[in-house]
Amino acid sequence: MDKDARIYVAGHRGMVGQAIVRLLEAEGFAAPIIRTHGELDLTDQAAVRAFFEAERPSHVFLAAAKVGGILANDSYPADFIRDNLAIQTNVIDAAWRSGAEKLLFLGSSCIYPRDAAQPIREDYLLTGPLEPTNQWYAIAKIAGIKMCQAYRQQYGFNAICTQPTNVFGPGDNYDPETSHVLAALIRKFHEAVRRGDETVTVWGTGRPQREFIHVDDLADACLFLMRAYDEPDIINIGTGKDISIADLAAMIGEIAGFKGAIVYDSDKPDGTPRKLLDVGRLRALGWQARIPLKAGIARTYEEAAALLDDG
Ligand code: GDP
């Protein structure tokens, strides 16, 4: 990909899209093409086609999606399946129609079977039932993968599919109802310390294990793959290490300076017991995550605390 390539970042206001835009700028690429939601509704097929015909991007990072944590997924299943199917179908098809050279589709680690062996290899896709709480999102993402593979097979379109593990970092969503666990816990511990609360409540049992990647590492992996990977097979993006929700809560509590007790609300769902990606394929290509979890969280905590105190 040349430095003056016409790169479109779909979803540039989201956490991942923002990080991709920051990285492209830092690496000296020409300013990417971007559109806000108000300027271009990606669920509107005609608008998306017209945009691609007019702009004719050569490379597309498809980071636009309706995303949310375990409760959001469970509460708005129709929105999750409809919006994600529409966004990805419109963007993948319009990119191919308008002659784009390459598209990178961002999937998710929740596409894998709930009880997949760990660490999860790419070829475990569609070998068992999904976790019910986020199946709507997962099915949409699986359709996106199959669409990329079908467009490659039938039309020779260079669309690649990446499956990132749970992401955190600047630009995350801190709304307690819809956020993912790491952002939710940053907010809970920060507010507890500020108010002098004696307890913080963590959902579920604390026993599930999750793997977390800093969004700057994820953006770096995406750029790496946009340059170096042209295969139909999906590829995992992770750190290779996971942590229990209880240990994560203890780590964030320590960063926040919380001295009270952590309590568990077992009325809330645990979701998938464990989600650790096998990153052997990505490592073999020569890429590895660089930001250690604790340092990444400490950095994110400072940014989030400033934001939460402001508003
Ligand atoms: P998941 O990876 O799709 O399950 O999504 P989440 O990041 O929302 O949740 C991960 C795990 O963290 C689940 O077991 C949740 O029950 C647990 N968890 C604990 N406290 C919280 C919280 O305050 N918010 C969220 N979203 N999850 C929490």
Q: Mean pLDDT throughout 251-271?
A: 96
Q: Is the CB of 164 under 6 A from ligand 1?
A: no
| Mean pLDDT computed over 82-94 | 98
Of 18, 24, 54, nearest to 39 by C-alpha is: 54
Residues classed as catalytic:
137
Q: What is the pLDDT of residue 72?
A: 87
Return the ligand 1 atom nearest residue 179 CA.
26
CB 152 within 8 A of CB 96: no
Kindly give the distance from the C-alpha atom of residue 267 to the centroid of ligand 1, in angstroms, as a whole number.
13
How far, in Å, CA of 191 to CA of 200, rounded?
Answer: 9
Q: Please identify which residue in the block is written with the tokens 């309706």.
A: 66
Residue 230 Cα to chain centre, angstroms: 21
Is residue 179 within 6 Å of ligand 1 at its C-beta? yes
Per-residue pLDDT of 129-161, as tens digits, reads 999 989 999 999 999 999 999 999 999 999 999
Of the chain, the percentage scoring pLDDT greater than 90 comes to 95
Task: Please check the confidence at residue 256 and state whether its pLDDT lies above 90.
Answer: yes
Ligand 1 within 6 A of CB of 80: no
Ligand 1 closest atom vs CA 204: 16
Q: Are 42 and 86 in contact (CB under 8 A)?
A: yes
Strand order of the β-sheet with 158-164 is: 7-10, 59-62, 102-106, 158-164, 235-237
pLDDT at 212: 98
Has residue 83 got a pLDDT over 80?
Answer: yes
Q: Give distance in angstroms: CA of 208 to centre of ligand 1.
A: 9
pTM of the model: 0.96
Once rounded to an integer, what is the mean pLDDT over residues 294-302?
97
> pLDDT of 197-239, one tens digit each?
999 999 999 999 999 999 999 999 999 999 999 999 999 999 9
**Which of 66, 67, 70 for mutating ligand 1's site (highest number of atoms within 8 Å of CB)?**
70
What is the mean pLDDT of the segment spanning 158-167?
97
Continuous H helices in 11-118:
15-26, 45-55, 70-75, 77-97
pLDDT band at 122 (very low <50, low <70, confident <90, very high): very high
Q: Is 299 in the pocket of ligand 1 (CB under 6 A)?
A: no
How confident is the model at residue 110, as a pLDDT? 92
Cα–Cα dist 168/295, whole Å: 12
Report H helices in the chain: 15-26, 45-55, 70-75, 77-97, 135-155, 181-195, 215-228, 245-256, 280-285, 293-310
Ligand 1 and 184: CB distance under 6 A: yes
DSSP 262: E
Residues 175-194 have a mean pLDDT of: 95
pLDDT, residue 73, reads 87
pLDDT score of 310 more than 90: no
If you take atom 10 of ligand 1, which residue's CA is the nearest one?
Answer: 181
The reply to whether ligand 1 has any atom less than 6 angstroms from the CB of 67 is no
Please give the number of the atom of ligand 1 that sits closest to the Cα of 69.
8
Which residue owns the Cα nearest ligand 1 atom 27? Answer: 181
Query: pLDDT tier at 69 (50, 70, 90 boundaries)?
Result: confident
Q: What is the pLDDT of residue 70?
A: 84
Q: What is the mean pLDDT of the segment spanning 93-99? A: 98
Residue owning the nearest CA to atom 18 of ligand 1: 203
Q: What is the residue-averaged pLDDT of the chain?
A: 96
Q: Look at residue 71 in the predicted model and tell me its pLDDT.
A: 85
Residues 52, 48: Cα–Cα separation, whole Å: 6
Ligand 1 centroid to 199 CA: how many Å? 18
- Residue 120 scores a pLDDT above 90: yes
Query: What pLDDT shows up at residue 186?
Result: 98
pLDDT tens per residue, range 33-50: 999 999 999 999 999 999
The whole-number average pLDDT for the span 177-205 is 96
